[in-house]
């Protein structure tokens, strides 16, 4: 995985996130997921963005020790434009206790009824492929900066690593409209999954290089 670098003259670089980035990561992911079907299912309060940011920032915090959380940073201002939360092989499963440590925060974010929905989302792990792979848990770009190639740049370092290591990659797309974007970098839909009383997600897999 590359550590840092400017992305082809587009005015931003991709680097590993630090703990100091977590507030900005939460804010940018909140804006990115404001209209996300899964976030709107889990979070009852409107607008969704502030609480989605807290929830996804917590996901980034949990994965930060793996050094696999990436940010896209404006080369001049240092503004965080997007973020990706990856999990390396055999590190995608997050114990429920990791989130229970943050239970008061979760209740603040989604409410008591929403905590039950978070548990429903955790059931998706039962469908997670067992073989070693890199897992893209979260990917989001600030809506004001979409169309600049930020999402692709946040995937590129790990997908390159997959190719070097001969490993596949996996993600769950919560938006049908994002499926073609992931397909362009080699992901394919393996199965749809409908959350009980909720939206349908697309499980997507990128094969290891042959």
Q: How many Å apart are CA 48 and CA 56, to the nearest integer?
A: 12
pLDDT of residue 2: 34
- DSSP 8-state class, residue 47: S
- Confirm if 167 and 186 have CB atoms less than 8 A apart: no
Q: How many residues does the chain have?
A: 210
pLDDT of residue 46: 87
Q: What angle do CA 131, 171, 80 make, to 5 degrees?
A: 130
CATH number listed for the domain at residues 12-206? 3.40.630.30
- Confirm if 206 and 162 have CB atoms less than 8 A apart: yes
pLDDT of residue 113: 63
Nearest in space to 129 (alpha carbons), one of 90, 76, 83, 101: 90
Other Cβ atoms less than 10 A from the Cβ of 9: the count is 7
pTM of the model: 0.88
pLDDT of residue 37: 94
pLDDT in tens for each of the 210 residues of the chain?
333 344 445 799 999 999 999 999 999 999 999 999 999 988 878 899 998 998 899 899 989 999 999 999 999 999 999 999 999 999 887 666 666 666 666 666 666 566 666 666 667 888 899 999 999 999 999 999 999 999 999 999 999 999 999 999 999 999 999 999 999 999 999 999 998 888 999 999 999 998
- Confirm if 151 and 139 have CB atoms less than 8 A apart: yes
């Amino acid at each position: 995985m590359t550590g840092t670098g400017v992305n082809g003259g587009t005015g931003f670089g991709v680097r590993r996130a630090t703990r100091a980035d977590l507030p900005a990561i939460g804010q940018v992911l909140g804006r990115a997921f404001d209209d996300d079907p899964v976030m709107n299912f889990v979070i009852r309060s409107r607008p969704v963005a502030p609480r989605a940011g807290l929830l996804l920032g917590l996901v980034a915090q949990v994965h930060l020790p793996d050094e696999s959380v990436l940010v896209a940073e404006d080369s001049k201002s240092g503004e965080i434009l997007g973020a990706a939360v990856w999990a390396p092989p055999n590190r995608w499963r997050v114990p429920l206790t990791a989130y229970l440590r943050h239970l008061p925060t979760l209740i603040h974010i989604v409410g008591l009824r929403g905590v039950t929905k978070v548990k429903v989302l955790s059931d998706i792990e039962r469908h997670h492929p067992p073989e070693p792979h890199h897992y893209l848990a979260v990917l989001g770009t600030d809506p004001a900066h979409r169309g600049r190639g930020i999402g692709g740049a946040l995937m590129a370092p790990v997908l390159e690593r997959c190719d070097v290591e001969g490993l596949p990659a996996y993600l769950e797309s919560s938006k049908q409209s994002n499926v073609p974007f992931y397909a362009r970098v080699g992901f394919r839909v393996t199965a749809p999954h409908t959350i009980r009383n909720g939206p349908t997600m697309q499980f997507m897999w990128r094969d290891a290089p042959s």
